[in-house]
Amino acid sequence: MEYGCIGEKLQHSFSKEIHARLADYSYELCEIPKDELSKFMQKKDFRAINVTIPYKTAVIPYLDEISETAKKIGAVNTIVNRGGRLYGYNTDFFGMRSLITENGISLKNKKVLILGTGGTSKTAHAVAEDLGAREIITVSRSEKDGTVSYDEAYRLHDDAAVIINTTPAGMFPKIDAEAIDPARFTELQAVVDAVYNPLKTTLSLNAQSCGVKAVCGLYMLVAQAAFAVEKFINIKIEKDKIKAVYADILRQKQNLVLIGMPGCGKTTIGNLLAEKLDRPFYDTDKLIEKRAQKPIPEIFAAEGETHFRALERDVIKTEVAPLSGAVIATGGGAVLNPQNIFELQKNGVLVFLDRKLDALAATKDRPLSSTRAAVEKLYSERYPIYKDAADIHLNLGDDPIENTRRVLAAFKGENL
């Protein structure tokens, strides 16, 4: 291996894709069991590597020199082999600092809570110090020396202005987990979550629902990779390049989620989008039918709408919300449950396909819109919900090809 990343579990890492956009070299993901780390490090069969969980501290004894930043933090995430001598750096520091400053979050003279005690926690502590935090409190479930418990954080530090999560809580595949409840902090101004998969965590979404600015770790991941590349091959990567790669990776990983009235064209446009973008396509109604082993009208007839909505909720939560880089068409009533919207927002951009009422036909295979009166009633009830849920709201015509072009342009941020 010339360049790559070592860690214990890397199957969900984005690093290979990021490095491919930052530099022209082969970058490999190398999973190493704990009992083989020593052999790997002693062999030194690489030019440069990144290091991730759980080896950021464990690699230090094998290094010949360590940067002052890495030494202060006590964790290394970048190693360069120069003529058989190993040099260790911590580019996570610059990545996290960039995540915070580029999002306009100020730590100066603020009380900051840092969740977790691992290598990323140490990095966050160094960044908070560098950015002028007034008080830094480390929160730990194990209540190690120098930390407070989560109960104490709620009881004694509910006036914290910024929370930085460095734990894996909320990381794929356990995307429902939340390290702490942001609603219990009365002076909270910002939440910084180092987790990048999903793109928006339960913690960040709950913080936003409280009116608190919240950011997750994808920009940090890209920025630290850029600083690592600079060490790897001795080049300078400009900030504009970092932002462009971040935007590209973000769009690639986001799900394109179509919401709207029955008959607005979600399935047709979804299939066309999937073909254009070379992405998999999922239709939640089809997934529900597959799970129930019967068509939707039969589900309604046999078990009723309540049972159908429970199936829909479970399909969205367990089958489509955790996806990455997919096109998803939802049922017309999926937005009626706020939890469905919440789950879809974790990795998705929600696009409201708004067709005029007179273009929406009543059909017998849709139990809740089988008559014209039913369609009009649904339209009146659901329209404001679609608008509130949508990240992108598009008024569409009758041509599926043109409608697809408009959705694609909006998703890419292009002028319509």
Q: Note if 111 is an active site residue.
A: no
Choosing from 43, 44, 56, 108, which is the catalytic residue? 56
| 267 found inside a domain | yes
Same domain, 7 and 146: no
Closest CA to 35 of 52, 51, 60, 54: 54
| 201 found inside a domain | yes
| 400 found inside a domain | yes
Same domain, 363 and 393: yes
Percent of the chain with pLDDT strictly greater than 90: 88
Same domain, 175 and 300: no
pLDDT (tens digit per residue) in 294-336: 999 999 999 999 999 999 999 999 999 999 999 999 999 999 9
Residue 415 has a pLDDT of 56
Predicted confidence band of residue 99 (pLDDT cuts 50, 70, 90): very high
CATH code for position 191: 3.40.50.720
Q: What is the mean pLDDT of the chain?
A: 94
Residues 6+ apart with CB under 8 A from 83: none
Closest CA to 394 of 305, 276, 267, 265: 265
Residue 388 has a pLDDT of 97
Q: Cβ distance 124 to 96 under 8 Å?
A: yes
pLDDT (tens digit per residue) in 349-370: 999 999 998 888 777 777 777 7
- When divided into structural domains, the chain yields a total of 3
Residue 223 has a pLDDT of 97
Residue 370 has a pLDDT of 73
pLDDT of 28 strictly over 60: yes
Q: Which pTM value belongs to this model?
A: 0.92
CATH code for position 291: 3.40.50.300
| 19 found inside a domain | yes
pLDDT (tens digit per residue) in 218-268: 999 999 999 999 999 999 999 999 999 999 999 999 999 999 999 899 999
pLDDT of 270 strictly over 80: yes
pLDDT (tens digit per residue) in 387-405: 999 999 999 999 999 999 9
Q: Which domain holds residue 178?
A: 94-216
